[in-house]
């Protein structure tokens, strides 16, 4: 399953704009690593993730588009986070381009997107969720846009919050 993120990544890979490509993922990488490592050490880890991805991109890897780049980002982030506290990790050369690449192409990441969450909802709640989670509108703006009463929008948001939690746990 490919989405709009993949189209832009593929375009940047194709034009060789690998700095823009990685920069687009930088903040996500930091956030993922802070969440995985449960604290500020995540920023150190994120730097290591970016170094590895940068070296790989400069070496021409991932241009074949076998996997969406976001999957590569997530896999490398998971791999570096897991290895961070292994003895000798920081003393040794961090990256081995010829070594085994992380191969956990977690299917769930390829196939699930927030867009799809919206699509799982009933049409009314889905329309609210799209404006709320994807477009960042405030409840009042959503009510106006969808010509709904504010109370109806708040009720839909409340239902969607619970469903989002449930969907993220799948």
Q: Does 128 bind other proteins (CB under 8 A)?
A: no
Q: Give per-residue burial for 43-81: e unless 16+ CB within 10 Å, then b.
A: eebbebbbebbeebbeeeebeeeeebbbbbbbbbbbbbb
The DSSP output letter for 132 is: I
Question: Contact region for other proteins (CB under 8 A) — 96-104, 119-127, 143-151, 161-169?
Answer: 161-169
Instruction: Note whether 87 binds other proteins by CB under 8 A.
Output: no
When asked if residue 20 is in the footprint of other proteins (CB under 8 A), the reply is: yes
The rounded distance, in Å, linking the Cα atoms of 113 and 77 is 18
* Shortest spacing between CB 18 and other proteins, in angstroms: 8
Q: Per rule CB under 8 A, is residue 127 in the interface with other proteins? A: no
Q: Which residue in 112, 124, 145, 152 binds other proteins (CB under 8 A)? A: 112
* Per CB under 8 A, 5 contacts other proteins: yes
Residue position matching structure tokens 């956990």: 104
Alpha carbon distance 70, 10 (integer Å): 10
Burial of 117 (0-12, 13-18, 19+ CB in 10 A): buried
Among 1, 15, 16, 32, binds other proteins (CB under 8 A): 32
Sites of contact with other proteins (CB under 8 A): 3-5, 8-9, 19-20, 22-28, 31-32, 34-36, 38-44, 47-48, 50-51, 54, 70, 74, 90-91, 108-109, 112-117, 132-136, 161-162, 164-165, 168-169
């Amino acid at each position: 399953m490919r989405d709009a993120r993949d189209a832009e990544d593929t375009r940047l890979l194709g034009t060789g704009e690998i700095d823009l490509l990685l920069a687009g993922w930088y903040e996500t990488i930091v956030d993922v690593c802070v969440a995985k490592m449960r604290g500020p050490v995540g920023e150190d880890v994120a730097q290591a993730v970016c170094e590895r991805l940068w070296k790989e991109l400069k070496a021409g890897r991932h241009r074949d588009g076998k996997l969406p780049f976001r999957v590569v980002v997530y896999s490398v982030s998971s791999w570096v986070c897991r290895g961070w506290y292994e003895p000798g990790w920081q003393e040794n050369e961090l990256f081995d381009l010829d070594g085994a690449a992380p191969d956990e192409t977690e299917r769930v990441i390829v196939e699930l997107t927030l867009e799809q969450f919206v699509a799982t909802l009933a049409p009314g709640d889905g329309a609210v969720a799209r404006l709320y989670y994807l477009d960042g509108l405030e409840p009042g703006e959503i009510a106006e846009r969808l010509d709904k009463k504010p109370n109806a929008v708040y009720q839909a948001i409340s239902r969607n919050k619970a469903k989002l939690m449930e969907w993220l746990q799948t």
